[in-house]
Amino acid sequence: MLQKLTSFFRAHIIIINENFLLAISASISRIRRVFSHAYIVICRQWDYLLSPIHSLSRVEPMMTGVESRIVKKLTLIAINNIFTDR
């Protein structure tokens, strides 16, 4: 399953919902190994994905302003792709 995800995600920043990790019984360290090319952000609520502009505020203090803007933009692109790439 994780190898399929690796081929699907080519992003430099990947935001993963914590419940998804539980669903596939994967540890954060294993995710980091599989997606070693990417900066991984683990979120606890779907709000991070559904409303990236304001709900990433908990993640932002760990990032520079530029990183924060990049994450927001990539998240919006990812959401857009989920709905358009069927």
Contacts of 76 (CB under 8 A, 6+ apart): 52, 53
- In the structure, what pLDDT confidence band is assigned to residue 21 with cuts at 50, 70 and 90? low
CA distance between the termini of the chain: 19
What pLDDT is stored for residue 75 in this prediction? 61
What pLDDT is stored for residue 86 in this prediction? 44
What pLDDT is stored for residue 29 in this prediction? 76
d(CA 6, CA 54): 28
The average pLDDT across 11-24 equals: 66
Q: State which residues form the domain around 52.
A: 2-84
- Rounded to 5°, the CA angle 34-70-1 comes to 20
pLDDT digits (tens, 9 = 90+) for 30-79: 777 777 777 777 666 554 444 444 444 444 445 555 555 666 666 666 55
Q: How many domains does the chain have?
A: 1
